[in-house]
Structure 1
Amino acid sequence: MDFTTASRIALATALFTTIASGAHAQDAGGDDIVVVGQSLEETLPQELSRYGSDLETVTAEQVRDRGSVDVATALQAVPGLYVMPGSGPFSYVDVALQGSRTQDVLWTVDGIRINNRLYGGTSPNDTLPASMIERVEVLKGGESLFYGTQAAAGVINVVTRGFTDAFDGEVAGAVDSFGGTAIDGYARGSIGAHRFVAYASRNESEGYRPYSVMQPSATDRRRGYRLWSVGGKYQIDVAADLRLNLQYQHTDAKLDNLSPARTNRSRNDRNEEIASARLDYTGSDAVQFFLKGYFHDWKTAYVQIRNPVPAGPPITVYPEGTFWGYQDYGGSAVVKLHPHRGLEYLVGYDFQNFNGRDDVLLIGKTSEQVHAGILQLRTTDELSERARLSAGLRHNETAGTKKTIWNVSGRAELTDTLYVEGTGGTSFVLPDASSLYGIDPCCEVGNPNLKAEQSFGFNLTAGGSVALGVATVAWKAGYFHRDVTDLIDATYDDPAFPNGTYVNVDDKVRVRGAEAQLDAALGRDWHVNASYTYSRVRNEGATTQRDRSPAQFAKGAIVYAPVERRFGANVAVSWIGDVYSSPSGFARQNYGNYALVDLGAHVFLDAARRNRFGINVENLTGEDYATRGFGSAAADDGGRFLYFTRGVPRTLRVRYSLGF
């Protein structure tokens, strides 16, 4: 960190400490007031939803009842979100949120950004077990105002186990039909002004064959994983209105990284550290703030050994320990001011420092700093309890790039059972280091002249609820619209780059679509939900859908969860429509048009509901489906062959947990 950066962070720390000291001093002469509140950062998704953003939340109970192993399986419950793990648990994912690409969605863990600047699509799915999840929050639509670049189509925030005043916890173990085992647990509680959470998990599996076709030369044929995670949180009430939060998480993972031909051994060994410190002041309606610093370090030791064709000793392509990784650290501060009736103001500053390199795909060491200022104006319930409006600006500066984006949003509750809401604004996505500087002769070559993508979009939604006898039905229908200029994509039409390069697409990319949802509570015991999403993603003037963008998909679930009984069950169905990919040397392929069915059941073995036994079947019908489309590779006979990455086969999983 240079002197200028250190000075800025020190100045921000001093400023906010002064504000906190002054605010606390004003309260010192009066009665002692204990305010139990949450950070502005923790409540940001809920606050944004009050002002028109579309928020979906997955609870810890939903994660447990679905038998989720990792983040991706937990996210299957989110209406309107297409998420496909590349090759089973703890692998990269393909995501589409309102017609987006994977790299248009920002992933965070407890508010800490996980996307890296080497590659835009990295998610926490390959290093975060589902047992650590308290909830997952998904914001749909452009959310660049507070979350910055890569939130062009939305945000997925994974919240790990939270604080409680009463002591509780759980230990659990699970096995599945592919040799998978999991042991996990957590404990949390408080002692006086001190609160704590500790959690740990170990997951291991031999895995399944990840490709539809594998050449005889591939002798390592099952994608396995072995993963350790441990984390902890600490919170102390420094004063009645001032709270300090500390967090740390470590993950050590060994993840097979296979290919359908010639693989003798190929693995990514991960070592990840996530840490943060946050100071929250929530004691005054006139002034609230948070000040946060974070650190995210991701190191991978890669190895790839290939079998020769036709015969011979193994060939070391990348020796064990070949490095790729990155480090991201920074800080943010947001103040909420309510100086007069009817309006409140949020003022913030965001700093990010990124550096990384890749000795596998040959990206030299790169670094980047981002400074951003944030301003948002909101109406309050003093002006209207049924209508809320907000407008904001964010100014970003990086080396050679200055961008200002804007956002407006609003929500109106027309009656107690009917509302309308909407958001609109601009976003931008910077090119990642791979598309700028990649020089690996096997793959697409980077283009240092790429421009940042820019987009304008808006969402309009209407929703409400209606009582039908013993049933209460909540409904929601919405339209989304996004135009992207200078979209970055790979091209293989330039003879100078036979393996491809990256360009800014000349034509504007237009995204249009709609979503519909129903959520019905049938008495106290039954719950039914269904959702449907249609998206039209095309280059301007084109008649075909862009690759890896599902045109339609739908989800539904039936849950039986009686409060008075010890037994519960659920069934979830998802249907994927047309999705296309364009493998090199072959015609365009449709890898969609299939349905998946998952079943789950659980029983509490005691009246206190502490001993729980669960059983889940993923992909009940044994559908052999593709997750990331078709690819092509060199065959053992010298030609090329077509294959697809397989989704999870039928898998039986049983789990026992003991709560305390």
Structure 2
Amino acid sequence: MYLKTWGLALTLLAVNNAAFADDIEKITVHGVQYQDDGTYQNVTLGSDVTIISSEMIQAAGAVDINKVLSQFVPGLFANGRAGRHTDTDYALQGSRPQDILWLLDGNRLNNRLYGSTYTDSINPMIIERIEVIKGAQSVIHGSEAIAGIINIITKSYQHDDRGEVSLVADTLPSYDLSAFVSSEINDLQISLAASSSQSEGYALWPDEEYSPTAALDKERGYRMNNLNAKIKWSISDAQQLTIFAQYNDGLLERPLAYNAILSENDRKQTLAYADWQLQVSDQLLLQTKLSYQHWDSHYSEITKEADGKVDVPYWDQYWGFKDYGALVSANYHTQAGSQWILGGQYEQFEGADEVMHFTTPTDRTYALFSQYQPKLSSLPDTQLSLGARVNKLVNDESIWVGSIALTHDITSQLQLKANLGNGYRQPTASELYQQLGTLGNPDLVAETSESINIGFNYQGDISLTVDSFWRNIDNLIEQRALSDTQFTYSNLNGRVESYGIDIHLVKAFSAKWLMELSAGYAHAERKDNGQQIERVPKYTGFAKLNYEMNDDVTLWVSGQYVGEFLDYGLTAGDYMLTNIGLQTWLSAKQNQQLQLTIDNLFDSEVPQSIFKHGHRAEYPIETMGAPRTLQLQYKYFF
């Protein structure tokens, strides 16, 4: 049963000769053909696309999105710096986290306060699929889409009433409870979900690394609750309105090795959007999207010095933002089969941080974009795409971006993909405005980039995807020291160049055995000093062997490699983790499922990042990854 669902992997052996030439968009994903009925058809033309299905997430036994991404996306490094529900380092094909745009159902998640994205509040049970699209995607999606986009698609009504409950416990110990239900009432399709997670966590550093006055409780814990709803209303045969809302409430410990006896974030987040679509005719689809994100965090910290003096530097200090967005677009298909996409986008942002002592003025940006996909009767095996976008940013800066892409069927089994484009990243509020210990620089200009992705996709007795890339970034924004205690931001006088290759192979040896191998190489060098940029490993790899014992029981073993990388000038990474798992159905109806996984099977001590607390850190410390962890998950489907 596992092979029939896990990633739909066996369908790679059934791809027929006409699949690539179908006029209806089909995204080729490591041998899987996924038909997308969204507004923008073929916008990912020429790009390597990985689709992680809900079945793949379920099979991975994952309650952590980062764990899922690390397994299934070649060339992506996803590393929680202190475990779950914490800051995460992301690198896609040699990029920094701020070079990746995150979307929820096509709506932006990246914030303009610090440029970070927290996906830990997304309940994996509500995910229908995750689309990872590599290469420059700024024409359609704007700022941050330099190395690619990661789009989390939430579940909608599944053609019948259904539900699911999940209970997860592990040996840290951690506990997760989540539920999902979907139903149809007249013209309304309703999906509801909720989750609650809590953990006592694990110690991030050895006892000897803590100062004598640090907290006695050295294990980092958390609590995160999530509630969301999605309603799709079929107003008429030609109109559809989708409304989504999510609320998160979490209390996240933030342990410090230096003197802190309490350090925590009390976080609340609201996400919402409305998506209205009007099918004017068989050729024209109009869409309007409104999105909203409200983030409220309150930070508290109590310290104790060596002389016994207790200080409260922060108590319930606010940091957060509000982000509004609006997008209007038209998708038009000509009688000849060509396609036009035209649209306009507006974003408004405001935020503040009482911890770092700065407030942002209201920030507004505007953009117009278009993409043309001609239907060439003289080149029936080739699909082309041309796009352009103009952006009006903060400080009245204007940025133009463009792209050209093609997909060409060399044979019925071999496909060429190529994507040439440029992108940009506008400065964050923290980089522009003055804050504690750091002088913002209002004269910063946006980072700009050019990139090329060229790859091949082979579908035969194996599924093989190869994607090579080259990218450079001009005007890189970096922090620069003015003194031992004061910093500022400036545009780097020089380029950062990245190049490399991702390889992914899937091979079914029989109806019972399936092997998956992937590897990534990313050379990301600063031209001013010749060094690899920090928190970007040169080498990553993943391997998995899956054995379906029968229709009820599946076993697997996997290994993940992360090469070394620099973090605060010290070396981290260079480790291998081995995981094993078992999944079994408990009933003949296959509505009860039990899954057992053991992560870090050999209890390896993994230096997954380097800890340094702001400007008060006496010295950096290696942060260790989670120890060997046994996880048990029970699911009930109804």
TM-score under structure 1 length normalisation: 0.87
1:293 is aligned to 2:290: yes
1:517 is aligned to 2:495: no
CA distance in 2: counterparts of 1:478 and 1:297, whole angstroms:
37
Pair 560,280 (structure 1): closer, same or farther in 2 beyond 3 Å: farther
The equivalent residue for 2:465 is 476
The equivalent residue for 1:580 is 566
After TM superposition, give the deviation of residue 343 of structure 1 in Å: 1.9
CA offsets 1:35-92 (integer angstroms, 9 cap, x no match): xx97634xx4x7234x211111111122122221222122122222111011111112
The equivalent residue for 1:500 is 487
Asked if 1 retains the 8 angstrom alpha-carbon contact of 2:212 and 2:306, the reply is no
CA distance in 2: counterparts of 1:283 and 1:208, whole angstroms:
56
Asked if 1 retains the 8 angstrom alpha-carbon contact of 2:298 and 2:319, the reply is yes
1:487 is aligned to 2:476: yes
Pair 489,345 (structure 1): closer, same or farther in 2 beyond 3 Å: same
CA distance in 1: counterparts of 2:178 and 2:213, whole angstroms:
37
The equivalent residue for 1:549 is 536
CA offsets 1:323-368 (integer angstroms, 9 cap, x no match): 1000111211221112331421100111111111111112213321
1:102 is aligned to 2:97: yes
- 1:221-240 matches, within 5 Å, as 221-240=218-237
The more displaced of 271-280 and 542-551 is 542-551
CA distance in 2: counterparts of 1:102 and 1:476, whole angstroms:
24
The equivalent residue for 2:251 is 254
Amino acid aligned to 2:452: F
After TM superposition, give the deviation of residue 380 of structure 1 in Å: 3.5
After TM superposition, give the deviation of residue 634 of structure 1 in Å: 9.2
After TM superposition, give the deviation of residue 277 of structure 1 in Å: 1.0
Amino acid aligned to 2:519: Y
Asked if 1 retains the 8 angstrom alpha-carbon contact of 2:48 and 2:467, the reply is no
The more displaced of 640-649 and 607-616 is 640-649
1:649 is aligned to 2:630: no
The equivalent residue for 2:262 is 265
The equivalent residue for 1:64 is 58
Asked if 2 retains the 8 angstrom alpha-carbon contact of 1:94 and 1:628, the reply is no
After TM superposition, give the deviation of residue 129 of structure 1 in Å: 2.9
CA distance in 2: counterparts of 1:500 and 1:161, whole angstroms:
44
The equivalent residue for 2:401 is 405
CA distance in 2: counterparts of 1:40 and 1:438, whole angstroms:
42
After TM superposition, give the deviation of residue 282 of structure 1 in Å: 4.1
Q: Secondary structure of the residue that 1:420 maps to in structure 2?
A: strand
1:571 is aligned to 2:569: no
1:178 is aligned to 2:182: no
**How many residue pairs were aligned?**
599
Pair 383,600 (structure 1): closer, same or farther in 2 beyond 3 Å: farther
CA offsets 1:123-169 (integer angstroms, 9 cap, x no match): 322x2232332211111111111111011111111122222120111
Amino acid aligned to 1:622: D
Amino acid aligned to 2:201: G
Asked if 1 retains the 8 angstrom alpha-carbon contact of 2:277 and 2:288, the reply is yes
Q: Secondary structure of the residue that 1:76 maps to in structure 2?
A: helix
Amino acid aligned to 1:235: K
Q: Secondary structure of the residue that 1:649 maps to in structure 2?
A: coil
CA distance in 2: counterparts of 1:291 and 1:171, whole angstroms:
34
The equivalent residue for 1:25 is none
Amino acid aligned to 2:264: R
User: 2:119 aligned to 113, 117, 124, which one?
Assistant: 124
- 1:603-614 matches, within 5 Å, as 603-614=584-595
User: 2:618 aligned to 634, 640, 655, which one?
Assistant: 640
Amino acid aligned to 1:535: A
1:278 is aligned to 2:265: no
The equivalent residue for 2:341 is 346
Give the unaligned 5+ runs of structure 2.
1-34
Q: Secondary structure of the residue that 1:63 maps to in structure 2?
A: helix
After TM superposition, give the deviation of residue 448 of structure 1 in Å: 2.2
The equivalent residue for 1:153 is 147
CA distance in 1: counterparts of 2:474 and 2:480, whole angstroms:
17
After TM superposition, give the deviation of residue 476 of structure 1 in Å: 1.6
The equivalent residue for 1:531 is 518
Q: Secondary structure of the residue that 1:208 maps to in structure 2?
A: coil
Amino acid aligned to 1:171: V
Pair 317,172 (structure 1): closer, same or farther in 2 beyond 3 Å: same
CA offsets 1:454-506 (integer angstroms, 9 cap, x no match): 11111010121232xxxxx11122210111111011223x34x6443222111
The equivalent residue for 1:416 is 412
User: 2:313 aligned to 310, 317, 324, which one?
Assistant: 317
CA distance in 2: counterparts of 1:230 and 1:290, whole angstroms:
27
Pair 288,548 (structure 1): closer, same or farther in 2 beyond 3 Å: same
The equivalent residue for 1:33 is none
State the superposition RMSD in angstroms: 2.0
After TM superposition, give the deviation of residue 240 of structure 1 in Å: 1.6
Amino acid aligned to 2:341: L
The equivalent residue for 2:70 is 76
Kindly indicate whether structure 1 or structure 2 has the higher relative contact order, using CA contacts under 8 Å at least 6 residues apart: 2
Amino acid aligned to 1:509: V
CA offsets 1:192-244 (integer angstroms, 9 cap, x no match): 32211001001011111123532222114221111110111111211123211
CA offsets 1:239-272 (integer angstroms, 9 cap, x no match): 1232111111111111111211111111111111
Pair 38,409 (structure 1): closer, same or farther in 2 beyond 3 Å: closer
The more displaced of 246-255 and 566-575 is 566-575
The equivalent residue for 2:449 is 455
CA distance in 2: counterparts of 1:250 and 1:385, whole angstroms:
48
The equivalent residue for 1:193 is 187
CA distance in 2: counterparts of 1:172 and 1:165, whole angstroms:
21
The equivalent residue for 2:22 is none
- 1:623-638 matches, within 5 Å, as 623-629=604-610, 631=612
Percent identity over the alignment is 26
Pair 38,507 (structure 1): closer, same or farther in 2 beyond 3 Å: closer
Q: Secondary structure of the residue that 1:207 maps to in structure 2?
A: coil
The equivalent residue for 2:85 is 90
After TM superposition, give the deviation of residue 521 of structure 1 in Å: 2.4
Pair 310,447 (structure 1): closer, same or farther in 2 beyond 3 Å: same
Asked if 2 retains the 8 angstrom alpha-carbon contact of 1:279 and 1:290, the reply is yes
Q: Secondary structure of the residue that 1:434 maps to in structure 2?
A: helix
CA distance in 2: counterparts of 1:659 and 1:342, whole angstroms:
43
Amino acid aligned to 2:271: I
User: 2:353 aligned to 354, 358, 373, which one?
Assistant: 358
Give the unaligned 5+ runs of structure 1.
1-36, 468-472, 583-587
Asked if 1 retains the 8 angstrom alpha-carbon contact of 2:393 and 2:426, the reply is no
After TM superposition, give the deviation of residue 305 of structure 1 in Å: 1.1
